[in-house]
Amino acid sequence: VTACGKLRLPKIGDVKVRWSRPLPAPPSSVTVIKDAAGRYFASFVVEVREQSLPAAPAETGIDLGLGHFAVLADGRKIDSPRFLRRAEKKLKKLQKALSRKEKGSSNRAKARVKVARQHAKVADARREFHHQTSIKIIRENQAVFVEDLAVKGLARTRLAKSVHDAGWSAFVRMLEYKAKLHGRQFAKVGRFFPSSKLCSACGTLAATMALNVREWSCPCGTVHDRDVNAAINILAAGRAERLNACGGPVRPPLAVAQPDEAGSRGSAAA
């Protein structure tokens, strides 16, 4: 990096760049890549030290979903922007134009770049949303617990487009590295933990629960919002695993009860 803010590359010379942010430390290496939309990016390898945030009194569990992108244990719900769904109409038009171009022609190459640029806009907007949401959660909570979802399995179902549009895996990775960078605790709860079917008030486990059931009543009298209840249970399970790792007691055994309403087959995403 030169004094005037340009990037000096071997065999090329000084290149004018648009910096996303100042480098936190002198880089040890740089890699220049070109994406499908024809944009060039410089990726730097730098050493970053832990930047601890002030201690936060709160801890949270996060239930990731499709109706809402994320539901927190305190009841807050983060809406899903559905970036790909919102761009589908324009993408369909661009892809139709691409399919009509002659293979190998310059017009087809131009049409392909237009499609790639539209996909890049969607990916950039999703990434920005993930960054803003993850850093806000990390700043507000001393410990963050999430469910270890089987994203690859869900991506092979009829929900595949919505699963890819949500980008859960990228979001969880951001939570994990930002928690480590800022001195927060982060942990995943096992994917087979019945977070939705477990009553967070008394510990009763419903036998079955259809995915379309968004609110349910426990025999103890508690009425649950399915997603909020799941987030509370994920938080409790994360805390229990933390105590168990320190030699404390494990979570109490579950009490099984028959649900009042008829349910369908159980789901791995429940």
Q: Which residues are catalytic?
A: 63, 147, 227
Closest alpha carbon to 35 in 145, 124, 129, 160: 124
The DSSP code for 223 is E
φ, ψ (nearest 5 deg) of residue 86: -70, -25
Residue type, 147: E
Amino acid, single-letter form, for residue 58? A
Chain centre to alpha carbon of residue 114? 27
- C-alpha to C-alpha distance for 240 and 59, rounded to whole angstroms: 13
Strands in the chain per DSSP E: 7-9, 13-15, 29-34, 40-45, 58-64, 68-72, 77-79, 141-147, 185-189, 204-206, 215-217, 223-225, 255-257
Q: What angle in degrees, to the nearest 10, is found between the helix axes of 168-181 and 106-140?
A: 50
Q: Is 221 left (phi over 0), alpha (psi -120 to 50) or beta?
A: left
